[in-house]
Homo-oligomer: A and B are copies of this chain.
Amino acid sequence: MKTYDDYYQRLLKMKPNIYIGDEKVGRDDERLKGGMRIIKETFDCAHSDEYSDICTATSHLTGKTINRFTHIHQNEEDLLKKQKMTRLLGHRVGGCIQRCMGIDSLNALSVITYECDQAIGTEFYERFKKYLEFFQDNDLVASAAQTDPKGDRLKRPHEQEDPDQYLRVIETREDGIVVRGCKINITNTPYADEMIVLPCRFMGPEDKDYAVAFALPCDWEGVKLLTRPAYVKSPKKFGTPTANIGDAETFIIFDDVFVPKERIFLNGHGDPRQTPYAGFLALMFAHYHRHSYTGCKPAVTEVIASAAALVAEYNGIEKASHVQDKISHLIGAAELVFAAGESSAKHSEKSPSGTQIPDEILTNAGRRFAGEMIYEEYKILADLSGGLIATLPFEGSFTSEEVGELAMKYLKRNPRVKPENVYRCFKGIETLAVSELAGLMQVAGLHGGGSPQMETITMMMRYDLEKLKNISKYLFGIKSKLRRYERPTVTPRKQLEKFRKVMQAKLKREQ
Binary interface profile of A, 35-78, with partner B (CB < 8 Å = 1, else 0)?
A: 00000000000000011001000000000000000000000000
Contact A251 B407 (CB under 8 A): yes
Q: Does A1 sit at the interface, judged by CB under 8 A? A: no
* A434→B440 contact, CB < 8 A: yes
- Beta-carbon contact of B406 and A253 below 8 Å: yes
A19 and B403 form a contact (CB under 8 A): yes
Give the chain B neighbours of A313 by CB distance below 8 A: 469
B424 touches A476 (CB 8 A): yes
- Confirm or deny: A127 has a beta carbon within 8 angstroms of a beta carbon on chain B: no
Bound together, the chains give a CA A94 to CA B342 distance in angstroms of 28
Residues on the B chain within 8 Å of A161, using CB: 415
**Cα–Cα, bound, A452→B380 (Å):** 12
Instruction: Give the top 9 A-B pairs by smallest Cβ distance, nearest first.
Output: A21-B396, A434-B439, A428-B476, A22-B396, A249-B391, A153-B316, A240-B477, A339-B343, A22-B400
Query: Chain B's nearest CB lies how many Å from the CB of A435?
Result: 6
B306 touches A397 (CB 8 A): no
User: Would B468 and A302 count as touching, CB distance under 8 A?
Assistant: yes
12 more A-B residue pairs beyond the given contacts A147-B387, A253-B403, with a C-beta to C-beta distance below 8 A: A19-B397, A22-B396, A50-B483, A153-B413, A224-B403, A226-B403, A228-B391, A238-B477, A302-B485, A318-B465, A331-B463, A342-B342
Residue in B closest to A315 when the chains form the complex, CB atoms: B153
Kindly provide the distance from the CB of A395 to the nearest chain B CB, expressed in whole angstroms: 7
Contact of A340 among B182, B336, B438, B465 (CB under 8 A): B336
Given the known inter-chain contacts A339-B339, A469-B313, please indicate yes or no for A227 contacting B393, CB distance below 8 A: yes
Contact of A366 (CB < 8 Å), options: B329, B339, B402, B463: B339
